[in-house]
Structure 1
Amino acid sequence: MFTTDLALATPQLILALAALALLVIGAFLPRPDRVVGFGAMAALAIATFAAATGPRGLAFHGALSADAASVFAQVVIYLSSLVAIPLGQGWFARRGIRLFEFPVLILLAALGMGMMAGAGDLLSLYVGVELQSLALYVLAALQRDDAKASEAGLKYFVLGALSSGLLLYGASLVYGFSGAIRFDAIAAAVQGQAGTGILFGLVFMICGLAFKISAAPFHMWTPDVYEGAPTPVVAYFAGAPKLAAMLLFARVLAEAFPEAIPQWRQVLILIALASVAVGALAGLAQTNLKRLWAYSSIANVGYAVLGLAAGTAEGIQAMLVFMALYSVSVMGFFACLAALSRNGRPLETLGDMAGLFQQRPWLSLALTIFALSGLGLPPFAGFWGKYYVFKAAVNAGDPILLWAAVAALVGTVIAAFYYLRLVKVMWLDPAPGPTDTPPVEAGIIAISAAAFTFPVVLALMPAIDSYAKAAAAALGLG
C-alpha cells in the first residue's frame, strides 16, 4: 500500500528531492547558478513525464489524488516552471545578480502547486497552498537591493498571510461542523442540507482562495506586486499559481460541497462580476504595463470564476481551458517585457512602447497577439477561453448566470480600450529612441508563446478540449 502511495506521488517526490539536493549542491559549488538551473529544469521535465504517464488513484488515504484533473494542471504548471527558469536566470544575470536560489524556489513553488492540484483533504490543501505561497513571497523580493521589489515581497507576504488565515479559519469551521477533513467525507456529512456553520466555513475558504487568484474584492495586492517584483517572477506567478489555485477551488467546491451549489454559486457570481468590473475599469487609467496587466489578470480571473460558478462539469472544463491558455499568453507577455530595454532601462510604460514595430517587429507582433488574445478577439487563444466560459454559463440554465455572462461580456468591451491602445502606440506612434538588442532566451520564449497563442492553438484546441473534459469529469460534477 505504501509503495503504491509513493508511486502515485512520484512527481511531487521528484521535485522535493531535487530541491533538497540542488540546495546542498548550490551551497558548496563556487558558481552554482548554471548547474542548479539545469538540474532544476531536468527535474521539472522528469516530473512532467512522470505526471503524464504515471498511475492514477488516491494516495495516503485520500490526502493526495492523482487523477485526470491533477495531471492536466501539473503538466501545465511544471512546463511553465521549466520555462520560467532560463527566463529568470538570464534576466538576473544581466543585472549582475547570480542567485542559485531562484531555480530552487521555482521547484518548491511547483511542488506546492502540484500538491494543490491533487489535494484530497483539508490538510494537504493547506500544506500545498502554504508551500507555494512561501516560495512566491521570496521570489517577489528576490531582487534584494531594489526598494520596489522589497515592498512587493512585503505586501505579498502580509496580505498572503491574511488570506491564509481566512482559509485556515474556514477549514477549521468546516472540520468542526462536519467532523471530517477528506473532501468526500465532508460531502457525505453535508448531504441534503449544509448547516449554517459549514456554510460560514465555506465562505471563509472561498475568500481565502480568492486572495490566491487575485479575484476582487481580494485583489488589492496584485497591482503593487506586479509592478515591484522582477519581471520574470511576475511572468511565473501570473499564470501557473492561478491555475493551481483555480483547480483547488474547483476541487473543494465539486468534491466537498456538491450539494451546496446554489449557495456557493451566488458568492462566485459576485466575485466574478466584481473582478471583471475592477479589471476593466481600473485598467483604463494605467500607463505602467505591469500594473495594466495586473488589472487584466484580475478581469481574466473573473471570467474563469464565472465558468466555475456554472456548477457543472462543462463549467469546470471551461475554467481549465481558459486558465491553461491564459497561462501561456501571460508568460509570453511578460517575456516580451523582459526582452525589451532602452539604454539598459526596461520598457515598462505605454510611452516606452511607442514606435516599437519599426525597431522590433517580431516582439511588437508578439505583444499585439497577446493584447488581442487578452481582448478575446477570434481566432486567438483568449477568444477560445472566453467562448468556453460564456457557453458554460449560458448552458447552466440559471437566469442569474445568464445575466452575469452578459455583464462580463460588457466588461470585455470596456477592457478593449486598453488592449487596443497598446497596439496603437506600438504601431503608429513615433519611437523616442532605439531599443537594446533583446536577449536570446526571452525573445525565444516570447515568440514561442505568441506562436502558441496564434496560430498553433487552432491545431491544438481539440486535444486541449479533450484533456480538459476528462479532467473536469474526474471531479464528479454532473
Structure 2
Amino acid sequence: MHPIFASIAIAGPETVLTLGSLAALMLGTFTGGGRALTVTSLFAVAILGLAGFTLLDAPAGPSVAFDGLYVADAFSAFLKVIILAAAAASVLLALPWLADHNAKGSSSARFEYPVLLLLATLGMAIMVSANDLLTLYVGLELAALPSYVLAAFHRGDDRSAEAGLKYFVLGALASGILLYGVTLVYGFAGSTQLDVIAGIVGGQQERSLGLLFGIVFILSGLAFKVSAVPFHMWTPDVYEGAPTPVAAFFAAAPKAAALGLMARVLVVAFPGQVAPDWQQIILFIAIASMVLGAVAAVAQTNIKRLLAYSSIANIGFALVGLAPGSPGGISALLFYICVYVAMTLGSFLVVLQLARADGSPVETMADFAGLSKTRPGLALAMAVFMFSLAGIPPLLGFWPKFAVFQAAINAGLLGLAIVGFVASVVAAFYYLRLIKIMYFDPPATALAPAANPVNGAMIAGLALFCSPIGMLALSPLAAATARAAAALFPA
C-alpha cells in the first residue's frame, strides 16, 4: 500500500470527519428550507458515530503516520471516544434550541451549526494525535476558528457577538504566544517532532534558558485553551454570552482535547531533566485555577457564569493529575476528564431543558428556586450533578478527585493535594447552595413545560452515570485509563 493511503487509513476518525464535514455542508446547502437544520444535524451525529466506529479497528500498538507528524495510540483513542461522544451530545442537545429559534424566524437557526461543530471536532481529534508541534498548531487552530464563529452564532444577540469577539481576540493572542514558544523550542532542538525533541532534551548536560522560555510560552498558549488561571479571563464572559448549547460544547470536548494535548507534549517531548521545570509551571496553574475557580464562583448569580468558574476549578483539579508526570498521574487525569465531561454536559442539559413561561431562557440561580416542586426529575438530576461536581461520595465525581490527589501524594506533592482538598470544600459551598435553592426555596419563576424527550433521556443517562450506579464503571474505566496512559510511557 502506498504510504499516503496507509497514513489515511491510520487516521481513520480524521478522514471520516473531514469527508463528513464537506458532505454535511453540501447536504445542508442542497436540502434548503427548514428541514436543512434537522437533516444536517442528524447526519453530523451519524458522522461522529462512524468516526468512533473506526476506532474499533485501531491497532493495539502506536501507529505513526504522515512521516511522523501523526500518531494513533491507546491514549489518543481514549480521548477521541470522549471528544466524539461529547460532540454528538452537543449536536443533539442544540436541536431544540435551534428549532425554537427557527420557529421564531431567527437567523441563528442555520444548518452551519453542526458543520462548524464537525470541523471543530476534527481539529480536536488532530490535537490529541499530534506528534509534532506544527501538527499541534494546525489542530489547535482548526478547532479554534469554528469555535469563534459558534460563540457568536446568535447574531441577533449583542452578548453573543461580544463573546465571539472576545474569544477571537484573546484566542489569536494565545495562538501567537504558543507559536512563539514553538519557534524557541525548534531553535533549540532543530526539530518540531516530539520524540526527536525528547532525544535532544534527554542528552543535554545543562539547562537551556531558551528551551525553558519555549516551554513557558507553549504552556501559556495551551493554558488559555483549557481556561487555566491566569489565562482564564475569557471563560465567564464567553460562557455567559455564547448560546447555551455552544457553552455546553466549550465546557466539554475542547477541554478534554486540550488537556490531552498538554499531557502528550509535556510527557513525550520534555522528559528527564527538564520535567521538573514544567512541573513547577503546572503546579502553579493548578493551584491558581483551583483556588480562583472555587472562590470566584461563590459570588456568581448567573448559572452559566457559575458553571464557567466551576470549569476553571475542575481544570485545576485535573492538572493535579498531570503535575507528577507519572503513568498513575496521567491515568488519573484521563479518568477525571471522562467523568468531568459527563457532569458538565449533564448540568448544561438541565439548564437547556428549562425555560421561563414566556419562552426566555433560564439564566439566574433564582430561576431554579423550588425546582423540586415544579420539576422534581430535573431537580434530582441537577442535584446528582452538583453533588458529583462537589466530589461527595459515593457519587462518581468523588473517585476522579480521589485518584488525582492520590497520584499527587504518591509523587510527594502533598501540599498540592492539601490545596486541592481545601478548594474542594470551598467549591462545595456554591454547588450545595444551588441544591438548597432547588429544594428549600419557594418557586419564584413560572417555567414552561419540558418538551424534548431526547434531552431528557440524555439527562437521565448522565445522571445515572454520575450517581452511585456509575461505580460499576470504575473497574473498566481504570483499566482503560491505565492502558491509555501507558501509551505515553513506552518501555
TM value normalised by structure 1: 0.97
Matches within 5 A, 1:183-202: 183-193=194-204, 194-202=207-215
Q: Provide the rounded CA distance (Å) in 1 between the counterparts of 2:422 and 2:376.
A: 32
Q: 2:279 aligns with which of 236, 255, 265?
A: 265
Q: Counterpart of 1:452?
A: 465
**Does the 8 Å contact 1:311/1:477 carry over to 2?**
no
Give the corresponding residue for 1:297: 311
Which residue in the other structure is 1:356 paired with?
Answer: 371
Distance change in 2, residues 1:301/1:35 (3 Å) = same
**Could you tell me how far apart the structure 2 residues matched to 1:195 and 1:421 are?**
49
Residues 37/196 of structure 1: CA separation in 2 closer, same or farther (3 Å cut):
same
Partner letter of residue 412 of structure 1?
A: S
> Which residue is equivalent to 2:105?
none
Report the alpha carbon displacement of residue 443 of structure 1 after superposing the two structures with TM. 2.0
Distance of 2:57 and 2:474 partners within structure 1: 21
Residue 5 (structure 1) aligns with: 7
Among candidates 272, 276, 300, match of residue 286 of structure 1: 300
1 CA distance for matches of 2:354 and 2:457?
A: 13
Q: Does 1:328 align with 2:342?
A: yes
Q: How does 1:164-175 map to 2 (within 5 A)?
A: 164-175=175-186
Trace 1:43-442 onto structure 2 (pairs within 5 A).
43-55=47-59, 56-96=62-102, 97-193=108-204, 194-259=207-272, 260-343=274-357, 344-397=359-412, 401-440=413-452, 441-442=454-455
Alignment identity in percent? 48
User: 1:346 is paired with a residue of what secondary structure?
Assistant: coil
What is the CA distance between 1:53 and its match in structure 2? 2.6
- Which one of 33, 37, 43 corresponds to residue 33 of structure 1? 37
**C-alpha contact (below 8 Å) 1:52/1:75 kept by paired residues:** no
SS of the residue corresponding to residue 446 of structure 2 reads: coil
**Does structure 2 retain, via aligned residues, the 8 Å contact 1:89–1:102?**
no
Note closer, same or farther for the CA distance 1:439–1:163 as it changes in structure 2 (3 Å cut): farther
Equivalent pair of 2:321/2:330 in contact (CA under 8 Å): yes
Q: Is the partner of 1:65 in helix, strand or coil?
A: strand
Residues 16, 47 of structure 2: 8 Å contact kept: yes
Deviations 1:433-452 (A, max 9, x none): 43111131322222221111
Native 8 Å contact 1:394 1:405 kept in 2: yes
1: CA distance, partners of 2:400 / 2:278: 23
Letter in 2 for 1:237: F
Runs of 4+ in 1 over 4 A off after TM superposition: none
Q: For this pair of structures, how many residues does the alignment match?
A: 475
CA separation in 1, counterparts of 2:487 and 2:329? 13
Using the size of structure 2 for normalisation, the TM-score is 0.95
Q: Distance in 1 between matches of 2:172 and 2:308?
A: 20
CA contact (8 A) 1:318 1:385 kept: yes
- CA displacement, residues 292-347 of structure 1 (integer Å, 9 cap, x when unaligned): 11111101000111110011011111111001110011011001000001121222
CA-CA distance at 1:189 after TM superposition: 1.1
- Structure 2 gaps, min length 5: 103-107
Task: State whether structure 2 residue 485 is matched by structure 1 residue 472.
Answer: yes
For residue 477 of structure 1, report the CA deviation from its aligned partner.
Answer: 7.3
Instruction: Decide whether the 8 Å contact of 1:12 with 1:115 is kept in 2.
Output: yes
Q: Secondary structure at the match of 2:256?
A: helix
The CA distance in 1 between the partners of 2:406 and 2:217, in whole Å, is: 29
C-alpha deviations, 1:379-421, integer Å up to 9, x for none? 2222111011001000113xxx211110111111111110110
Could you tell me whether the CA contact under 8 Å between 2:181 and 2:217 is conserved in 1?
yes
Question: 2:71 touches 2:129 (CA, 8 Å); kept in 1?
Answer: yes
Distance 1:93 1:176 in 2: 51
Give, as a single letter, the amino acid of the residue that structure 1 aligns with 2:343: S
Q: Is this contact kept in 1: 2:201–2:271, CA < 8 A?
A: no
In structure 2, how many angstroms separate the alpha carbons of the residues matched to 1:387 and 1:103? 36
Q: Distance in 2 between matches of 1:257 and 1:471?
A: 19
SS in structure 1 of the partner of residue 233 of structure 2: coil
Q: Tell whether the 8 Å contact from 2:371 to 2:439 is kept in structure 1 after alignment.
A: yes
Distance 2:384 2:129 in 1: 33
SS in 1 for 2:202: coil
How far 1:192 moved relative to its partner?
A: 4.0
**By how many angstroms is 1:191 displaced?**
1.2
Cα distance in 1 between the residues matched to 2:192 and 2:402: 36
Hey, what's the Cα distance between the residues in 1 that align with 2:247 and 2:455?
14
Q: Contact 1:258–1:477 at 8 Å: present in 2 too?
A: no
Q: Distance in 2 between matches of 1:52 and 1:258?
A: 31
1:144 is aligned with what amino acid? R
